[in-house]
Amino acid sequence: MTLKNWIMAGALAGSAFTAGYLSGGGWAEARGGSTYELLDLFADVFERVKRDYVEEVADEPLIEAALNGMLSSLDPHSGYLNAQSFEDMQVQTRGEFGGLGIEVTMEQGLVKVVSPIDDTPAARAGLQPGDLITHLDGVSVMGMALADAVDKMRGRVGTDIRLTVRRGPQKVFDVTLTRAVVTIKSVRSRLEGDIGYVRITTFSEKTDDGLVDAMKALKRQSKGKLKGYVLDLRNNPGGLLEQAIAVADTFLDSGEIVSTRSRDPKDTQRFNARSGDLADGLPVVVLINGGSASASEIVAGALQDHQRARLVGTQSFGKGSVQTIMPLPGHGAMRLTTARYYTPSGRSIQAVGIHPDVVVEQPGSTLPPGMPQGEASLPHALNNDTPGKIHPADRVAPDSDPSEPPVEEIPEPQKDGANGTDAQLQRALDLLHGGEAAQSQAPN
C-alpha cells in the first residue's frame, strides 16, 4: 500500500469513527473540504522524495522530520521527540539515571572531567577535575560527539566500563567503574552569614524534596538564627509545573500560586498554596535573570504577586506556556503547547517576562552572539494575551537592558558574595540585612 492509499484509508477510518457525531455532509466537509487534497499533497511529495532524491532516504527520518516541522511551526516549544530524545527528556525530569557521576565537556576531541559528583562511582574511583578521558572500553573518543560519549558512559546499574584517563604529565592509566544510580542534584545550599542561600538549577521530580532538605539543613547549621533566605533561580530554564507549584508553596501559607488556561475555558485549572510556610515568615529575596524561564517564572511571579519576596536581578525570559508530553507508542512522543499560565494577579508573562523589583545588572554579563533576546525573539512565539495587566515592578525601569537567554548548560553564579563579586547576590544580602525584603504574605 502506498503512503497515499494509507493516508486515505486512515481518513476513511476516521470518517467511520466520527460518523455518529456528524450530520449532513461527510467527514471531509466537517473537517474542511481541502483536508483530503492536503493529505494527498503530502503523500505525493513523500513518494517523489523517496523515488527521485539524489540519495536513498529511509522512511522514518522523513516522517519524523515532517512531524517535527508540523509541530515546531506552531510555537518554539512544540515538537516531535524520537525515542532517544524522549528517553533523554525522561532522564532529565526523573533526576536520576544509571551512570558514573561525572560532569564532562569536550576539549580538543577528548572528554574532559569538569567535576565528579560526590558519592558516585567517579568520585570513589578518584577521578579529578581536568582529567582527560581518551578511551571508553578501549574505543577512542577522538571524533566522537559528546552526547555519544555520555550515552556510552551511562547504562544499566551494576555493569562495568573501562575508562582510559590522561592526567597532566602523568602516564595514561585505566580505571574500571561500576555504574550506579546517579541522582542529579537540582538544589544546592549554603549559609551566607546569617542568611540561607538556596540555588535551584532545574525543576525535576526531586526538586521539592531537595528544597525541603536544604532549608532544614540551613536551620540546623544556623542554630535557628537565620534572618532570611535568598532563592537563586538565575539561569534556571524551568522543568515540571508540579514542582514549581510545590516550591512556591514552600514559602506561601495561602492563596493562588498559578492558573493554567487552555483553549477550552472549562479546562482552566487553579493551584493554591497549602497551609504552612517552611521559611517561618522570614523575608525572602529571589534572584532572577534572562535565563530564568517557565517554572522559574511561575515561582518568582507567585512570590512577587503575594508580596512574599522581593525580586532582584534582570528581566526574566518570558516563557508563559505549558507543554504536555504525549507518548506515541513505539515511536517516542509529541510535545504540544496546551495552555498558558498566569500569575495570581491574572497576568501572563508570555513574551514579556517578569521584571524584578530591584534591577541589578551583573558586571561582565554579556550575550553570546546569536543568542535569543527572550521568548519574544523566538520564531512563532505566542503573543501575550494580558497586555493590560502590568505588575508595578514593570514600571520601575522600563528601559532596562533586554534579558539574557536560557542556556543548556547551567553555570553556577560566582559564589563569593561576601566580597561583592556577585553583584546581584550582594544586593539581595544587603536588602535582607537592611530589613527591606518582604517578610509576610499580603492579605488576599
pLDDT at 442 over 70: no
State the Cα–Cα distance between residues 358 and 341, nearest whole angstrom: 24
Same structural domain for residues 154 and 290? Answer: no
Same structural domain for residues 230 and 333? Answer: yes
Burial of 4 (0-12, 13-18, 19+ CB in 10 A): middle
Same structural domain for residues 229 and 302? Answer: yes
State the Cα–Cα distance between residues 9 and 22, nearest whole angstrom: 19
Q: Residue 373 is placed in which grid cell? A: 533576546
> Rounded to 5 degrees, what are φ and ψ at 320?
-115, 35
In sequence order, the 6+-apart residues with CB closer than 8 A to the CB of 110 are 132, 133, 134, 141, 142, 166
Same structural domain for residues 215 and 282? Answer: yes
Taking only the tens place, the pLDDT of each residue in 329-342 is 989 999 999 999 99
Q: Name the nearest CA neighbour of 15 among 44, 34, 1, 36.
A: 36
Q: Which residue has the higher pLDDT, 24 or 124?
A: 124
Taking only the tens place, the pLDDT of each residue in 261-270 is 999 999 999 9
* SS3 state of residue 172: coil
Which of 34, 59, 82 corresponds to the end of one domain? 82
Q: How many CB atoms lie within 10 A of CB 397?
A: 14
Tell me the average pLDDT of the chain.
Answer: 83
Same structural domain for residues 352 and 293? Answer: yes
Q: What is the CATH number of the domain that holds 112?
A: 2.30.42.10
Domain assignment of residue 443, yes or no: no
pLDDT for the residue numbered 269:
97
Taking only the tens place, the pLDDT of each residue in 349-371 is 999 999 999 999 988 765 434 44
Domain assignment of residue 88, yes or no: no
State the Cα–Cα distance between residues 323 and 340, nearest whole angstrom: 9
- Terminal-to-terminal C-alpha distance of the chain: 63
Same structural domain for residues 391 and 352? Answer: yes
Domain assignment of residue 339, yes or no: yes
Taking only the tens place, the pLDDT of each residue in 405-438 is 332 233 344 443 334 489 999 999 999 999 877 6
What are residue 164's DSSP bridge partners? 135, 174
State the Cα–Cα distance between residues 220 and 210, nearest whole angstrom: 15
Taking only the tens place, the pLDDT of each residue in 20-67 is 333 334 444 445 558 888 899 999 999 999 999 999 999 999 999 999
> Rounded to 5 degrees, what are φ and ψ at 258?
-160, 155
pLDDT for the residue numbered 121:
92
Same structural domain for residues 52 and 139? Answer: no
> Rounded to 5 degrees, what are φ and ψ at 437?
-90, 155
pLDDT at 444 over 50: no
Tell me the C-alpha to C-alpha distance, in Å, between residue 88 and each of 85, 97, 170, 173, 327: 5, 10, 35, 31, 14
Same structural domain for residues 179 and 191? Answer: no
Question: How many structural domains compose the chain?
Answer: 3
41: containing domain:
3-82
Same structural domain for residues 197 and 329? Answer: yes
Same structural domain for residues 200 and 179? Answer: no
pLDDT for the residue numbered 95:
75
Burial of 387 (0-12, 13-18, 19+ CB in 10 A): exposed
Same structural domain for residues 216 and 141? Answer: no
Q: Residue 252 is placed in which grid cell? A: 506561601
DSSP helix, strand, coil percent of the chain (3-state; round to 5):
30, 25, 45
State the Cα–Cα distance between residues 208 and 214, nearest whole angstrom: 10
State the Cα–Cα distance between residues 207 and 187, nearest whole angstrom: 6
Q: Are 102 and 130 in contact (CB under 8 A)?
A: no
Catalytic sites, residue numbers: 294, 305, 319
| Residue 24 Ramachandran class (φ > 0 left, ψ -120 to 50 alpha, else beta) | left
pTM of the predicted structure, to 2 decimals: 0.76
Taking only the tens place, the pLDDT of each residue in 315-328 is 999 999 999 999 99
Same structural domain for residues 169 and 220? Answer: no
